[in-house]
């Protein structure tokens, strides 16, 4: 499987689980979160072990900068995953952190698929991406086996999933963003991030 297709499939599955979280009461969130935790850990592992290092080594400056930013965003998401999974975390705090995790992850995915992946397609051949995808898929299975993470079984969307996805699409058509934030807000975020990369390069 092409490396980008593999990562996009992971993105879609985790977002389906996020949508399920958003459509169910807090009392049912932890079993869904456990699936999210396993999926995100495996996904982050193959990106950090195989995908990102290759982009840093062979990509141009813009791609390298975006990759370094992605590494930093992973650290933030890992922090929230750990805090949500901690048994000592109160229910209210867990729900608040879960909401932020969902927002941050969706923003991260949007940047990856909207900026990083386009650059990757320009700078790597289909043959390279196919070979990379095979390596990543094998490493993911190895990681899941080592960590006791059950490989996912593709699930048919529930009625709630379908309705929430339709609602999200309506929000996207109105605001230009699936998380409900305005397009102007997203531009400001992107500008801040790019400014940060620029300042880092000058330092």
Report the distance separating Cα 40 and Cα 30, nearest Å.
15
DSSP state for residue 179 in the 8-state scheme: T
pLDDT tens by residue, 181-200: 444 444 444 454 444 454 44
Contacts of 174 (CB under 8 A, 6+ apart): none
Cα-Cα end-to-end distance for the chain = 39
Which pLDDT score is estimated for 153?
80
**What residue spans of the chain are helical by DSSP H?**
3-22, 29-46, 52-58, 61-85, 91-111, 117-123, 126-147, 159-175, 183-202
Which pLDDT score is estimated for 174?
75
pLDDT in tens, the chain (203 residues): 999 999 999 999 999 999 999 999 999 999 999 999 999 999 999 999 999 999 999 999 999 999 999 999 999 999 999 999 999 999 999 999 999 999 999 999 999 999 999 999 999 999 999 999 999 999 999 999 999 999 988 665 555 555 656 666 666 667 665 554 444 444 444 454 444 454 444 44
pLDDT tens by residue, 119-157: 999 999 999 999 999 999 999 999 999 999 999 886 655
Which pLDDT score is estimated for 183?
47
φ, ψ for residue 124, nearest 5 deg: -130, 145
Which pLDDT score is estimated for 156?
54
């Amino acid at each position: 499987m092409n490396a980008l297709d593999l990562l996009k499939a992971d993105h879609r599955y985790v977002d389906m689980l996020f949508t399920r979280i958003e459509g169910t009461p807090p009392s049912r969130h932890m079993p869904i979160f456990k699936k999210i935790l396993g999926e995100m850990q495996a996904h982050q592992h193959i990106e950090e072990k195989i995908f990102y290092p290759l982009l840093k080594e062979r990509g141009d400056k813009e791609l390298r900068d975006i990759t370094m930013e992605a590494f930093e965003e992973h650290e933030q998401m890992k922090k929230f995953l750990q805090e949500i999974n901690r048994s000592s975390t109160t229910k209210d705090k867990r729900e608040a952190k879960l909401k932020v995790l969902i927002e941050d992850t969706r923003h991260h995915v949007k940047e990856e698929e909207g900026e990083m992946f386009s650059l990757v397609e320009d700078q790597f051949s289909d043959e390279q991406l196919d070979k990379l995808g095979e390596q990543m898929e094998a490493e993911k299975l190895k990681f899941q086996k080592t960590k006791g993470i059950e490989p996912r079984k593709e699930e048919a969307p529930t009625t709630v999933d379908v309705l929430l996805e339709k609602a999200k699409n309506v929000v996207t058509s109105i605001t230009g963003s699936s998380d409900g934030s305005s397009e102007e807000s997203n531009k400001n975020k992107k500008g801040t991030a790019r400014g940060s990369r620029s300042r880092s390069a000058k330092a």
